[in-house]
Amino acid sequence: MSKLLFSILAVSALSFADTVYIDNSMAAAEHSDTEEYEERVSVGPYVEFTNIKMSNVTYNYKVNNRKYDINIDNTYTYGAAGNLPFNNYIGFYMIAAYQYLGISYQDRNLDGAYKALAQMEEDYMGWDVPLDSGDIKGRHQMHTVLFQIGFDLGLPLYSSYDYQFMIKLFGFGGGIAGKTFFQDDSKFVAPPLYGYAYGFGLRMAFHKAVLSGGVRNSHEYFHAYFERKISETKDGDEFMLDFDNYFQPFVNLSIALF
């Protein structure tokens, strides 16, 4: 009896196996003549080889209503960049970055400035004098944190689904907002920073790796005032910086998140 039951079950199983149909229509294609590589959300390190030139800087630096000369040096801009593409032609991008600015300053008439300081010390009888020699000639060490958000437009030059590879030209534009921080004991209140940027470049993607590079133009501006003014008007103690950077090279290496 058991042998008969086993034989019936075995025949039934074989008959069912003959009727099984495996649907693999949803499996990923290994080859396609119509599909293109699809750009993906990616994020990674960003470096801009920034070089601020004094010929592109407009400034107004005054203390006690006296005009000053300044000179600026800077580091490269380091941070992270992310891309959020809608398709291979248009998308959003965001950059969060850091840059150091060294600002050397001095009164345009040093002799007159030191004489004015001596007179001020006499007037205050050496107590709670609002200025000192470091306000006449010195150096600010300024740290800036920058955020940029905008859009980019691209034109794929080559796109392969089979090789998971794409290369395209792209242009971009966006707004800049940031915050400055004085490392030294400055009497200026660290101001916010605003601006905009635009440029163009070349982007290559291979599987999840994305390499972008190009040139970037930007305009940045801030306006700082003394926390405790010593001039009759607020504008007598101010530091306004307005500068442009042209054709600054940048590179971004990112990884697709999915």
Summarize pLDDT for 214-258 with one digit per residue, the tens: 999 999 999 999 998 898 899 999 999 999 999 999 999 999 998
- Which of the pair, 35 or 228, is modelled with greater confidence? 228
Predicted TM-score of the model (pTM): 0.83
Q: What span, in angstroms and rounded, lies between the C-alpha atoms of 40 and 51?
A: 32
113-130: average pLDDT: 91
- Report residue 171 as tokens: 């242009």
Q: Which of 211, 118, 219, 202 is nearest to 152 (CA)?
A: 202
Average pLDDT, the chain: 88
What pLDDT does 185 receive? 84
Contacts of 6 (CB under 8 A, 6+ apart): none
- Can you list the domains of the chain with their CATH numbers? 41-256 (2.40.160)
Length of the chain: 258
Contacts of 202 (CB under 8 A, 6+ apart): 167, 168, 169, 170, 212, 213, 214
**pLDDT band at residue 210 under the 50/70/90 scheme:** very high
What pLDDT does 170 receive? 98
What pLDDT does 37 receive? 81
**pLDDT band at residue 26 under the 50/70/90 scheme:** very low
Summarize pLDDT for 156-203 with one digit per residue, the tens: 999 888 888 999 999 999 999 999 999 988 999 999 999 999 999 999
